[in-house]
Amino acid sequence: MQKLEELVQFDRLENRLLRSGIAPRHVRGLMSELRNHFDDAVRSEVAKGLDPASAERAAWQRLGSEDSVVQSALAQPQLRALAARFPKLIFGGGPFLLWIGAIFLTVAAIVGSFDILRALDIVTPGAHPEPPWLYGPAIAVIFFYSRILPVAIGAAMLIAAVRQRLSLRWPMAGAVLISLFAGSTDITIKFSTHVGEPGELSIGNSLITVLAPITEALGIFKPEMFLRGIGLGLVNIAIVFAAYWLWQRYARLKAI
């Protein structure tokens, strides 16, 4: 059983390492080894004849000051977390880029799959309408990209920032950006219903209608679409922050 003073000292060192930008996985490893080292040092001092209290004091001295351990870690660039070095990029733009990248990879995978099926003469373009069982997976894909993935990415970024003891400013900005953009993005899959009719996959974003003078001139201004996009975006934001709040509650309960 660790003593309170020992727990506080290790906890303080752990927080300082995380705040200094050392990657959480390295901090966990370092702390585990430092605790083991401390135990070994206490045993060694007791074996030399010191009483337990003096042995602990001597073991702390042997470990060195908090500053020296933190400085030693900071001197090693390999231990620094990417998120601590580039918070704006990782937390501000990262979620959005990750989400866009995932959508494009999926579209590329779908198109690529059809190309392969065509090359193998398994599918002939326009020869038959898509089977009805494709509707279910298509709706699931749209739901995944507009609801589940952006919320999961936004919440994961917030949690990662807390674990790294970083400021929540950029992760929050990133979560709001991805939530709004994903909420206002419409992914539509239109299946062909009869032979010869092509299917259609379209991706659009209703926030573009905010450029009202231009979109009005182009005849594509749809205020109801804009408001719907904002509404769905706000729902995403609420889910992200609810997930983050639940995680914080869980983390606090786990710590008690």
Partner 1 sequence: MARKTNPEFMTGVPELLVLRLLSDREMYGYELVQAIETSTGEAIKVGEGVVYPILHALEAQGCLASRRKAVEGRMRIYYSATAAGKKRLGALMTEWQRITDAVATVVRGSKHAKA
The minimum distance between CB 149 and partner 1, in angstroms, equals: 31
Binding mask 1-30 vs partner 1 (x if CB under 8 A, - otherwise)?
Answer: -------------------------x--xx
Buried b / exposed e over 123-152, threshold 16 CB at 10 Å, is: eeeeeeeeeeeeeeebeeeeeebbbebbbb
Measure the CA dihedral 81/83/85/91, to 10°: 180
The minimum distance between CB 222 and partner 1, in angstroms, equals: 52
Q: In 3D, which of 241, 238, 243, 229 has the Cα closest to residue 146?
A: 229
Residue number, 30 or 153, with CB nearest to partner 1: 30
Total of chain residues touching partner 1, rule CB under 8 A: 25
Position 85 contacts partner 1 (CB under 8 A): no
Position 41 contacts partner 1 (CB under 8 A): yes
Residue number, 34 or 141, with CB nearest to partner 1: 34
Position 64 contacts partner 1 (CB under 8 A): yes
Which of 63, 162, 168, 234 forms a contact with partner 1 (CB under 8 A)?
Answer: 63
Position 61 contacts partner 1 (CB under 8 A): yes
Asked if residues 187 and 146 have their Cβ atoms less than 8 Å apart, the reply is yes
DSSP code per residue over 149-183: HHHHHHHHHHHHHHHTT--SHHHHHHHHHHHHHHH
Residue number, 69 or 210, with CB nearest to partner 1: 69
Interacting residues with partner 1 between 170 and 209 (CB under 8 A): none
- Helix, strand, or coil (residue 50): coil
DSSP code per residue over 83-106: HHH-HIIIIIIHHHHHHHHHHHHH
The binding site for partner 1 (CB under 8 A) comprises 26, 29-30, 33-34, 36-37, 39-41, 61-65, 68-69, 71-73, 75-79
